[in-house]
């Protein structure tokens, strides 16, 4: 497992879980370096999956009915009086099968010859029908719904015009997702797994809130952060503002906006449920590592790439994955565990994609041992497929980290599985310094490392 693993979830594939996600990708070749898997702890593990679209169908409604039998409907025997005479039965309020058929036949006959007889039978005569069916109406000006600034309705009204639906048509099928207008000049931000096939020539179509469509081209994408920028030939668009995700706290109210199951312009509400969830999305050989915001706002297949908005109307995350129960490998629907890429990461990556078409990510230059079960995360003890456990001359090597060392924390944040360390590193930028707590042969020490830059695809 390496701290520089990439990610590229296929368009209709599944993607990330909380705490410890599960990968559904193909196995790496025998002897290949171990990579971080998207698995939660083995016990009670939950699988996170990418959000693909589902088409809803409504089966024709069926009807059934079984007439009752008169005898069976009234099995009571007649009661005897003291003189031995039979007491009269109490009348029943139910119609037997023959009575029901008689009413049905009568209705048909009346329908054939005119409705007057039927009305007289069922309504007791024309005078029993209401003369005026008008229902009460609210008094003029009496109804007022208060939708102040900051209300859900007001936030939704401001955000919806800047959220789009995205359709990608490839040879193997059609994938749909969501996106947000990033710049007035036609730039749109979405997930890489939504538009991944665009790199192979697939057609991308964007549908705007007012219903008009535009073809789009891929500007740049990175599987390492599951982000992509596309562009339409249009100007004067209204962009959403990327807020500061570092200011987000657990309990903040949020709105998720997008096109779940192809239902465009859908808004759901919830709160920020947790921060810094280490989420790994995509195939084992190419996975995105996300220091995710967790939310209980309903997120479903098709929400991928849509914004998670705070009460100020600012985007604090890009909705990317949902958790599913153990053994589930495809997105089946919301269970209140959704994950979003923090807006600060989205801003940094989007700027790189617009300016250069590619993005970079930070590494420390070590291979991690995925079989280690003790405290912290252990550096591999030897080379893997010709790759050294510690990159010679790399950041970790220069700081004195050696094969077999155990990394206990990064910047004071404890790590217990490899994905947590990788996600914590990916949340930084190349050139940032980090402090690792390292154990070597029972002795613990702090080491300072300056993160090195690696480009997507390397």
Report strand pairing: 338-342 vs 315-324: antiparallel
Task: Single out the catalytic residue among 3, 165, 178, 193.
Answer: 193
Q: Is residue 135 part of a domain?
A: no
Question: What was the pLDDT predicted at 186?
Answer: 98
Final residue in a domain of this structure, among 358, 381, 413: 358
Final residue in a domain of this structure, among 316, 335, 358: 358
354 in the same domain as 385: no
Q: Is residue 401 part of a domain?
A: yes
Query: The whole model's pTM is what?
Result: 0.72
Q: What is the CATH number of the domain that holds 43?
A: 2.40.10.120
- d(CA 87, CA 69) in angstroms, rounded, equals 23
3-state secondary structure 259-284: CHHHCCCEEEEEEEEEEEEEEEEEEC
318 in the same domain as 251: yes
381 in the same domain as 352: no
Final residue in a domain of this structure, among 340, 358, 376: 358
Question: What was the pLDDT predicted at 27?
Answer: 37
Q: Is residue 387 part of a domain?
A: yes
350 in the same domain as 373: no
- d(CA 42, CA 131) in angstroms, rounded, equals 70
Dihedral in degrees, nearest 10, Cα atoms 7, 20, 446, 435? 50
DSSP letters for 159-221: HGGGEEEEEEEETTEEEEEEEEE-STTSEEEE-HHHHGGGGGT-EEEEE-TTS-EEEEEEEEE
Is there a catalytic annotation at residue 304? yes
Q: Is residue 121 part of a domain?
A: no
Q: Is residue 285 part of a domain?
A: yes
Question: What was the pLDDT predicted at 321?
Answer: 93
Q: Is residue 347 helix, strand or coil?
A: helix
- Terminal Cα-to-Cα distance of the chain (whole angstroms): 15
- Whether the CA torsion 187, 193, 194, 196 is positive or negative: it is positive
Between vectors from CA 293 to CA 315 and to CA 321, what angle results, nearest 5°?
A: 95
**Range list of β-strands (E), 265-397:** 266-283, 286-295, 307-310, 315-324, 338-342, 360-363, 377-378
207 in the same domain as 174: yes
Question: What was the pLDDT predicted at 50?
Answer: 62
Q: Is residue 115 part of a domain?
A: no
Is there a catalytic annotation at residue 226? yes
Domain with 390 in it: 361-455
346 in the same domain as 275: yes
217 in the same domain as 341: yes
434-457 burial: b if 16+ Cβ within 10 Å, else e: bebbbbeeeeeeebebebbebebe
Question: What was the pLDDT predicted at 70?
Answer: 40
380 in the same domain as 339: no
Q: What is the CATH number of the domain that holds 431?
A: 2.30.42.10
305 in the same domain as 175: yes
Query: For every one of its 458 residues, what pLDDT tens digit does the chain have, with 9 covering 90 and above?
Result: 555 433 334 334 333 344 333 333 333 344 444 443 333 333 333 456 666 443 333 444 444 444 444 433 444 444 444 444 544 444 444 444 444 444 444 344 334 444 444 444 445 555 666 778 888 888 887 778 888 888 999 999 999 999 999 999 999 899 999 999 999 999 999 999 999 999 999 999 999 999 999 999 999 999 999 999 999 999 999 999 999 999 999 999 999 999 999 999 999 999 999 999 999 876 655 678 999 999 999 999 999 999 999 999 999 999 999 987 777 766 678 899 999 999 999 999 999 999 999 999 999 999 999 899 999 999 999 998 899 999 999 999 999 999 999 999 999 999 999 999 999 999 999 999 999 999 999 899 999 999 999 987 65
Q: Is residue 225 helix, strand or coil?
A: coil
417 in the same domain as 274: no
193 in the same domain as 341: yes
Instruction: Taking each helix axis as running N to C, give the angle between helix 97-113 and helix 116-123, from 0 to 180 degrees, rounded to the nearest 10.
Output: 140
Q: Is residue 434 part of a domain?
A: yes
Domain total in the chain: 2
Task: Single out the catalytic residue among 162, 245, 259, 304.
Answer: 304
Is there a catalytic annotation at residue 171? no
- Asked if 253 and 227 touch (Cβ cutoff 8 Å), the reply is no
State the residue for tokens 């490899």. Answer: 418
Question: What was the pLDDT predicted at 21?
Answer: 39
- d(CA 397, CA 431) in angstroms, rounded, equals 16
- Whether the CA torsion 360, 361, 367, 372 is positive or negative: it is negative
Question: What was the pLDDT predicted at 301?
Answer: 93
Q: Is residue 291 part of a domain?
A: yes
375 in the same domain as 411: yes
């Amino acid at each position: 497992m390496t701290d520089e693993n990439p990610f590229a979830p296929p368009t209709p594939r599944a993607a990330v879980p909380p705490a410890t996600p599960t990968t559904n990708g193909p196995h790496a070749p025998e002897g290949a370096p171990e990579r971080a898997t998207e698995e939660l702890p083995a016990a009670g593990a939950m699988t996170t999956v990418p959000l693909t679209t589902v088409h809803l169908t409504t089966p024709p409604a069926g009807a059934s009915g079984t007439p009752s039998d008169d005898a069976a409907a009234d099995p009571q025997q007649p009661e005897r009086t003291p003189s031995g005479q039979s007491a009269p039965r109490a009348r029943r309020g139910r119609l037997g099968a023959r009575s029901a058929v008689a009413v049905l036949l009568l209705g048909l006959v009346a329908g054939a010859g005119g409705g007057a007889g039927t009305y007289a039978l069922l309504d007791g005569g024309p005078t029993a029908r209401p003369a005026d069916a008008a229902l009460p109406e609210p008094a003029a000006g009496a109804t007022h719904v208060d939708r102040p600034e900051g209300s859900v309705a007001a936030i939704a009204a401001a955000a919806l015009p800047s959220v789009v639906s995205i359709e990608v048509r490839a040879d193997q099928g059609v994938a749909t997702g969501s996106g947000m207008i990033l710049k007035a000049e036609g730039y749109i931000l979405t997930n890489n797994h939504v538009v991944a096939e665009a790199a192979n020539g697939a057609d991308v179509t964007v549908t705007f809130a007012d219903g008009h469509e535009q073809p789009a081209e891929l500007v740049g994408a990175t599987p390492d952060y599951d982000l992509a920028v596309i562009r339409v030939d249009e100007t004067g668009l209204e962009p959403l503002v990327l807020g500061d995700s570092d200011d987000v706290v657990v309990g903040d109210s949020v709105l998720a906006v997008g096109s779940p199951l192809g239902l465009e312009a859908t808004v759901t509400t919830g709160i920020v449920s947790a921060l810094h969830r280490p989420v790994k999305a995509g195939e084992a050989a190419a996975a995105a590592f996300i220091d995710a915001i967790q939310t209980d706002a309903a997120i479903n297949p098709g929400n991928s790439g849509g914004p998670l908005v705070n009460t100020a109307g600012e985007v604090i995350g890009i909705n990317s994955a949902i958790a599913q129960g153990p053994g589930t490998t495809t997105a089946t629907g919301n269970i209140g565990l959704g994950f979003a890429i923090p807006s600060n990461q989205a801003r940094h990556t989007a700027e790189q994609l617009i300016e250069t078409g590619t993005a970079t990510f930070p590494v420390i230059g070590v291979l991690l041992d995925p079989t280690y079960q003790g405290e912290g995360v252990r550096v591999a003890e030897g080379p893997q497929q010709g790759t050294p456990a510690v990159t010679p001359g790399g950041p970790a090597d220069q700081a004195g980290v050696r094969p077999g060392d155990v990394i206990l924390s990064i910047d004071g944040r404890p790590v217990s599985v490899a994905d947590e360390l990788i996600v914590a590193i990916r949340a930084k930028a190349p050139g940032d310094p980090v402090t690792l707590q390292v154990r070597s042969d029972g002795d613990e020490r702090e080491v300072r490392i300056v993160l090195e830059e690696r480009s997507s695809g390397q």
